[in-house]
Amino acid sequence: MKVLHIISNLMSGGAETMLSKVAQASASMSVDHVVISMLSGGRIADELTQAGIPVRSLGSARSLGAITHINALRRMVRDIQPDLIQAWMYHGNIAATGAAILNGTPSCPVIWNVRQTVRRLRDETVLTACTILAGGLISRMPTAIVYNSKDAATAHERLGFSRERRIIIANGFDTAIFRPNPNSRNALLSELQLAGDAELIGRIANFHPRKDFASLIAAFATISRENHRAHLILAGRDVSPQNQNLTRLIETLPSPGNVHLLGERRDVAQLMPAFDLLLSSSLIEGFPNVIGEAMACGVVTVATDAGDCRDILGDRDRIVPLGDSSSLAQKALAILSLDREQRARIGARDRARVISEYSIEKIAAEYVRLWRREAGKE
Q: Which is higher by pLDDT, 208 or 299? A: 299
Q: State the Cα–Cα distance between residues 269 and 303, nearest whole angstrom.
A: 20
Res. 358 pLDDT band, cuts 50 70 90 = very high
Q: Are residues 87 and 149 in the same domain?
A: yes
Q: Are residues 192 and 298 in the same domain?
A: yes
User: Does 177 fall in a domain?
Assistant: no
Q: Are residues 367 and 344 in the same domain?
A: no
User: Does 314 fall in a domain?
Assistant: yes
Q: Are residues 324 and 235 in the same domain?
A: yes
Res. 67 pLDDT band, cuts 50 70 90 = low
Give the model's pLDDT for residue 121: 86
Q: Are residues 219 and 340 in the same domain?
A: yes
Q: Are residues 48 and 167 in the same domain?
A: yes
Count up the domains in the chain and report the number: 2
Give the model's pLDDT for residue 122: 82
CATH number at residue 272: 3.40.50.2000
Residue-wise over 93-121: b if at least 16 C-beta within 10 A, else e? bbbbbbbbeeeebeebbbbbbbbbbbeee
Res. 102 pLDDT band, cuts 50 70 90 = confident
How would DSSP label each residue in 187-210? HHHHHHT--TT-EEEEEE--S-GG
Res. 124 pLDDT band, cuts 50 70 90 = confident
The residue range of the domain holding 211 is 182-357
Q: State the Cα–Cα distance between residues 170 and 113, nearest whole angstrom.
A: 11
Beta strand ranges found along 67-142 (DSSP E) = 84-88, 110-114
Q: Are residues 18 and 103 in the same domain?
A: yes
Q: Are residues 154 and 206 in the same domain?
A: no
User: Does 79 fall in a domain?
Assistant: yes
**14-60 residue pLDDT tens:** 889 999 999 999 998 999 999 999 998 898 999 999 999 999 998 76
pLDDT above 90 for 12: no
Long-range contacts from 243-252, C-beta under 8 angstroms, 24+ separation: 243/207, 245/207, 246/207, 246/213, 249/213, 249/214, 249/217, 250/217, 252/217, 252/221
Give the model's pLDDT for residue 65: 52
| DSSP code at position 276 | S
Res. 61 pLDDT band, cuts 50 70 90 = low
Q: Are residues 289 and 369 in the same domain?
A: no
pLDDT above 90 for 63: no
Q: Are residues 192 and 67 in the same domain?
A: no
Report, in angstroms and rounded to the nearest whole number, the Rg of the chain calculated over CA atoms.
21
pLDDT above 70 for 66: no
Sign of the alpha-carbon dihedral angle for 35, 38, 40, 41: negative
Please state the pTM of the whole predicted model: 0.84
Q: State the Cα–Cα distance between residues 198 and 230, nearest whole angstrom.
A: 6
Burial class (CB in 10 A: 0-12, 13-18, 19+), 68: exposed
Q: Are residues 347 and 364 in the same domain?
A: no
Beta strand ranges found along 89-220 (DSSP E) = 110-114, 144-147, 166-168, 199-204
Give the model's pLDDT for residue 244: 96
Which of 27-41, 54-68, 73-87, 154-168 has the least mean pLDDT?
54-68
Res. 377 pLDDT band, cuts 50 70 90 = confident
What percent helix, strand, coil does the chain show, rounded to 5? 50, 15, 35
Strand, helix or coil at 250? helix
Nearest to 272, CA basis, from 347, 359, 360, 193: 347
**171-229 residue pLDDT tens:** 999 999 999 999 999 999 999 999 999 999 999 999 999 999 999 999 999 999 999 99
Q: Are residues 164 and 212 in the same domain?
A: no
Strand, helix or coil at 351? helix
The average pLDDT across 240-256 equals: 95
CB distance 59 to 40 below 8 Å: yes
